[in-house]
Amino acid sequence: MEEEKPSEPSPSKGPRHGSRATSHRMRYLQVLAISALSLLGMVSISGLLFMPTAQSVTTSRLSQMMRGGDNNTAGAGADAGAGAGTGPNTAPKEAGGALRGSTRSIAERRAAVKGAMQFIWTNYKERAFGADEMTPITGLPRNPWGSIGCLILDSLDTMWIMGMHEEFADGRKWVASKLNFAKMGDVSVFETIIRALGGLLSAYDLSKDRVFLDKADDLAQRISHAISPTTGRANYRFNSFTNHSYQPGSLAESGTYQLEYEYLAHATGKAEYSKLARVFYPYIQTRKPIRLGGLYASQIHGGDGGPFNGDLIVSFGANGDSFYEYLLKIWILRGGAGVDDQNDLMKKMYLEAMDGLEKYLVQRSTTGRVYIADYDIRRSEPRARMEHLACFVPGLLGLGAHRMRTSDPDTSARHLDLAKKVMTTCFEAFYAAQPTGLAPEVLDGENLEVRNGGKHYILRPEVSESLYILHQVTGDPVYQDWGWRIFEAINTHCRVDYAFAAYRDVRTPREQQFFDPKRDVEGRQKWELTLHEDRMETFFAAETLKYLYLLMDPENEYVSIDTHVFTTEAHPLSMFKKATSA
């Protein structure tokens, strides 16, 4: 069987897009209908459930649906392991708490991850619904992304994939009635595209509900003002009131809208989106002063596209990462080889970038760990450091190896071998080596040390992403075990009153403390704030929990790496056609 042509799922696994997926879309529509009728007093959800149509369902099945249950969960008992109910917590669990132990079944692990998502959503809906974020310790609304309900938009597909259809319907209702991109104000172009646009497109892809596509189209029409039609360069900031954008974006910011725009063009039939998505790649190839083979400096001057402030640093971390990611993923999304010259260019640029990665960036620490360094073009030398962000590389290499394993078996095998080595470093050096089991933002020096500037953990997803992809590619259960250990550490050290909070110092474990929940709420919160930042990025729900859930649900009925391409914010989009040989 050719790797670039994903096989049809076997009957024992259930169809990816067949009857079960369609039935779940029907269940979602039924939830919408019940919600609407209940507002008119026509349906009693708490009593006898009645669906006055020919598509009625049984009370027991509908009750299960309204609880968010599905065939992929282990039931309420397993969900409770991660605390699906509302906060606040009176104390953190002891190291690993009720989740400790490798004897947990995959179904129990999956249910625990789902329980974490339910815990977040329940508190968010009660305390901050419609806000971009909710502060996890104090439970307050926060709006850093333009007051567009970013947590809703970023979480819709996660809830669908987890079978949380009632919660998905709540989010859909808010999108249809409240979401207004005209009032965003001054926002980040990059973050708005990957979180809001990507989230809406994936929600549409999974549910086929047109309201999401229409909102995505509206957003893209606005944000496109920030992208140059002649160079494809994207600016850093955009103001929705004036349609003015400013401050040139980095390599990643100019190279991380194309996947979403290609899908939007395909879904809407509006060719202007794909036309805009294809401008940047020919342009960036001509920027010789910032180029090192298939690699490029992460900071680009806004005028001539040369070095920005003399900076010539190549990085698969901040400001560079997702540019390289999208080279491969656009090629896969649009159908692989033989589609057109543009798609062939994507694969060519990806392979050239991976050649550059192997030649210049792959380094070995003093302890023998293989890691991804930065590279200083001007000095012609690597910089001995690795960002957590660069831990997406094992997943990228694994995905490319999976796609090209028949057409180019030697390159595929080499890339997969490198992916496994870097994956080991990402788990062992970033997570397992820390007293908390949480990862620092950066490891510095040739022996990969945690230093004060990078000692914090902000719930990042890159390692979970790579674990999921490598497990899909290899089937090795060690990646599930590593993912579970990461989830245990997050649940132990980052779970707080209302959600999960960024951890200030991964070298300092969270000690067991007990507080009277009625008498000493303020004392508990003050204690938590010494250990945590009172913030949970929306990518924790969009990416980290999604990938950990899928890692424990390798035969998920909705998505897989053979049917979908995940955006850099983990929003799955259906491939246009089956990927073909390279």
Given 154, 170, 321, 374, the catalytic residue:
321
- Provide the residue count of the chain: 582
Given 4, 154, 462, 497, the catalytic residue:
462
HSE, CB side, 13 Å, CA atoms: give it for residue 30. 24
522 is catalytic: no
Given 79, 253, 387, 441, the catalytic residue:
441
CA gyration radius for the chain? 23
Q: Which residues contact 139 (CB under 8 A, 6 or more apart)?
A: 87, 88, 123, 127, 128, 497, 498
Element (H, E) at 376: strand 374-376
**Cβ count within 10 A of residue 574:** 18
Query: For residue 391, what is the DSSP state?
Result: G
3-state SS, 426-461, equals: HHHHHHHCCCCCCCCCEEECCCCECCHHHCCECCCC
What is the rounded CA–CA span in Å between residue 437 and residue 489?
5
Positive or negative torsion for Cα 311, 316, 318, 321: positive
What is the rounded CA–CA span in Å between residue 358 and residue 350?
12
321 is catalytic: yes
441 is catalytic: yes
Write b or e for each residue in 119-155: b if 16 or more Cβ atoms lie within 10 A of its Cβ, otherwise e.
bbbbbbbebbbbbbbbbbbbbebbeebbbbbbbbbbb
At 506, list the tokens.
């991964």
* Nearest Cα to Cα of residue 549 among 118, 62, 39, 59: 118
What is the rounded CA–CA span in Å between residue 121 and residue 545?
12
Which of helix, strand or coil describes residue 381?
A: strand
Residue-by-residue DSSP string for 516-558: -TTT-HHHHHHHHHHHB-S---THIIIIIHHHHHHHT-TT-SS
Is 568 annotated in a binding site? The answer is yes
Given 4, 157, 166, 191, the catalytic residue:
191
What is the rounded CA–CA span in Å between residue 540 and residue 554?
20
Annotated binding residues for Ca(2+), as ranges? 568
Binding site as annotated, residues: 568
Catalytic residues: 191, 321, 441, 462
